[in-house]
């Protein structure tokens, strides 16, 4: 409980003449002051004990970028009125990054106050949304008490997914003693790579650009192999995100990973997600669209806390990957060691794809180094991309190299 400092000063000013001078008037004023303080304290204490609240939300799972409705009910179960109440919503700040103004209201005896707020969920994560702060003040504004109203409610915000249509990741595969080249993410710029759309196929397989050109519905003609494999490895080393003070790069890394994974699952390609959670290896596998939830669960809570350097994680994966597998490396800090690791993968008949993620900062030495290494890898025939946090990943990843 807090007490207005001005009122304490007034109390001192009344106490001094009452003690030194004496007389009825100074004591009457002092007694009136003390009674006012006692009444104010009692009103706040009663309110803190008997005013109750409830929080509810319209859904417990959303995608980043969606909105959620948060409803509040504050009830006064006493015969007293509370003319000065203030509701502070920390939930909205955690979800959207914007701190809304506090809501002031009053409660009559045996009454309730209801309100609801639509909040934009700015980023992925697991949030405790069942806690609000209620400031209870007395009628004179002398005392105030901050009461936390808590309900065990959690909101899970999954990472945003960008729909990819023409992702080009090449895989060299080995059959017997003859090496073949199987482009299972087809480059549909030639007519022989496509075929007519069948009624039972999902509409997302349609290549609209080519369909418009030939005035009929055409789809990408994939020749998928049963042992086709994509491995997505994301950098979770804490030191790699030194420039990421607002976690923009971290969220972009997750966005790229989940978008590529969803594309693979839609094409029935076996995909594996790998990263380090502190010192624990996280690995999720799937090959069907129904498996997407498992990947989203892990990426929702992803945080770069590992002390293990990214190139060390890459080296272990390269030893266990099957020949011809596509290995996608996503990191905000592509250094020479990672570049060398990618070239070694290529020499071992793996198909590395390097994705560097950065922010708009022309003075960042790290970003300049990332761009330089990406260009060097392209010259060596390795698929490599540089993506800034504000860029649409589709525009970059679907670019023909």
Residue 116 parent element (H or E): strand 112-120
Q: Nearest-CA neighbor of 126 among 302, 306, 305? A: 302
- In CATH, what class is 1-158? mainly beta
Cα–Cα distance between 232 and 355 in angstroms, integer?
Answer: 11
Cα–Cα distance between 361 and 358 in angstroms, integer?
Answer: 8
Task: For residue 219, give every residue at least 6 positions away whose Cβ sits within 8 Å of its Cβ, in sequence order, or none.
Answer: 194, 195, 196, 197, 198, 201, 205, 206, 207
> What is the side-by-side order of every strand in the sheet holding 125-128?
61-63, 154-158, 125-128
Range list of H helices, 267-397: 292-300, 310-320, 336-347, 365-379, 393-397
Q: Confirm if 49 and 80 have CB atoms less than 8 A apart.
A: no
Q: Beta-carbon neighbour count of residue 173 at 10 Å?
A: 19
Per-residue burial over 346-364, b if 16 or more Cβ lie within 10 Å, else e, is beebbbbbbbbbbbeeeee
Per-residue model confidence (pLDDT) at position 246: 85
Taking the model in full, what pTM does it have?
0.75
Q: Confirm if 194 and 97 have CB atoms less than 8 A apart.
A: no
Which token pair is 277? 């959670």
Q: Confirm if 54 and 65 have CB atoms less than 8 A apart.
A: no
Which token pair is 336? 């020479």
Q: Confirm if 151 and 56 have CB atoms less than 8 A apart.
A: yes
Which token pair is 20? 């030194």
Task: For residue 379, give every residue at least 6 positions away whose Cβ sits within 8 Å of its Cβ, in sequence order, or none.
Answer: none
CATH architecture of 171-185+222-397: 3-Layer(aba) Sandwich (3.40)
Task: For residue 18, give every residue at least 6 positions away whose Cβ sits within 8 Å of its Cβ, in sequence order, or none.
Answer: 26, 27, 29, 30
Per-residue model confidence (pLDDT) at position 329: 95
Cα–Cα distance between 239 and 306 in angstroms, integer?
Answer: 9
Query: CA angle, 319 as apex, 317 and 323 as ends, to 5°?
Result: 100
Cα–Cα distance between 57 and 230 in angstroms, integer?
Answer: 38
Cα–Cα distance between 184 and 292 in angstroms, integer?
Answer: 20
Q: Confirm if 160 and 300 have CB atoms less than 8 A apart.
A: no
Cα–Cα distance between 349 and 366 in angstroms, integer?
Answer: 30
Helix (H, G, I), strand (E, B) or coil at 87: strand
- From first to last of its 401 residues, the chain has per-residue pLDDT tens of 777 777 778 877 877 877 777 778 888 888 888 898 889 899 999 999 999 999 888 989 999 989 999 898 999 999 989 999 999 877 777 787 777 778 899 999 999 999 888 888 888 999 888 788 999 998 888 889 999 988 888 899 999 999 988 776 554 444 333 333 444 333 333 333 567 777 766 676 677 767 777 778 877 655 444 456 899 999 999 999 988 888 899 999 999 999 999 999 988 888 999 999 887 889 999 989 999 999 999 999 999 999 888 888 787 776 677 778 889 999 999 989 999 989 988 888 888 999 999 887 755 777 888 889 999 999 999 999 999 988 999 989 887 55
- Give the dihedral of Cα atoms 355, 359, 363, 367; nearest 10 deg: -10
Cα–Cα distance between 375 and 145 in angstroms, integer?
Answer: 60
Helix (H, G, I), strand (E, B) or coil at 399: coil
Altogether, the residues listed in the chain come to a count of 401
Q: Nearest-CA neighbor of 353 among 362, 345, 361? A: 345
Q: Beta-carbon neighbour count of residue 395 at 10 Å?
A: 10
**Boundaries of CATH 3.40.50.410 in the chain?**
171-185+222-397
Cα–Cα distance between 371 and 356 in angstroms, integer?
Answer: 8
**Boundaries of CATH 2.60.40.10 in the chain?**
1-158
């Amino acid at each position: 409980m807090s007490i207005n400092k001005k009122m304490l000063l007034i109390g001192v000013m009344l106490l001094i003449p009452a003690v030194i001078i004496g007389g009825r008037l100074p004591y009457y004023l002092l007694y009136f002051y003390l009674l006012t303080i006692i009444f104010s304290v009692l009103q706040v204490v009663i309110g803190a004990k008997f005013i109750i609240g409830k929080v509810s939300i319209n859904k417990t799972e959303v995608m980043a970028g969606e909105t959620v409705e948060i409803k509040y009910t504050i009830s006064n179960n006493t015969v007293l009125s509370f003319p000065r109440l203030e509701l502070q919503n920390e939930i909205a700040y955690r979800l959207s990054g914007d701190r809304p103004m506090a809501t002031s209201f009053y409660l009559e005896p045996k009454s309730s106050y209801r309100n609801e707020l639509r909040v934009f969920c700015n980023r992925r994560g697991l949030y405790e949304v069942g806690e609000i702060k209620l400031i209870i003040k007395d009628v004179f504004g002398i005392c105030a008490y901050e009461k936390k109203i808590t309900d065990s409610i959690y909101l899970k915000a999954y990472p945003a997914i960008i729909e990819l249509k023409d992702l080009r990741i090449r895989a060299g595969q080995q059959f017997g003693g003859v090496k073949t080249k199987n482009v299972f993410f087809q480059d549909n710029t030639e007519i022989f790579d496509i075929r007519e759309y069948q009624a039972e196929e999902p509409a997302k397989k349609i290549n609209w650009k080519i369909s418009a050109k030939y005035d009929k519905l055409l789809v990408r003609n994939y020749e998928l192999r049963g042992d086709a494999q994509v491995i997505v490895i994301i950098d979770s080393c804490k030191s790699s995100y030194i420039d990421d003070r607002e976690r923009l790069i971290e969220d972009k890394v997750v966005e790229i990973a989940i978008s590529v994974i969803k594309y693979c699952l839609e094409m029935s390609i076996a995909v594996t997600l790998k990263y380090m959670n502190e010192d624990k290896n996280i690995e999720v596998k799937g090959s069907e669209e129904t498996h997407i939830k498992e990947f989203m669960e892990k990426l929702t809570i992803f945080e770069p806390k590992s002390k293990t350097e990214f190139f060390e994680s890459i080296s272990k994966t390269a030893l266990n990957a099957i020949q011809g597998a596509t290995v996608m490396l996503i990191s905000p800090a592509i250094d020479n060691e990672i570049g060398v690791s990618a070239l070694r993968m290529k020499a071992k008949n793996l198909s590395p794809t390097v994705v560097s993620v950065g922010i708009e900062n022309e003075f960042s030495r790290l970003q300049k180094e990332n761009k330089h290494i990406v260009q060097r890898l392209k010259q060596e025939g390795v698929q490599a991309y540089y993506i800034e946090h504000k860029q649409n990943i589709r525009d970059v990843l679907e670019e023909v190299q």
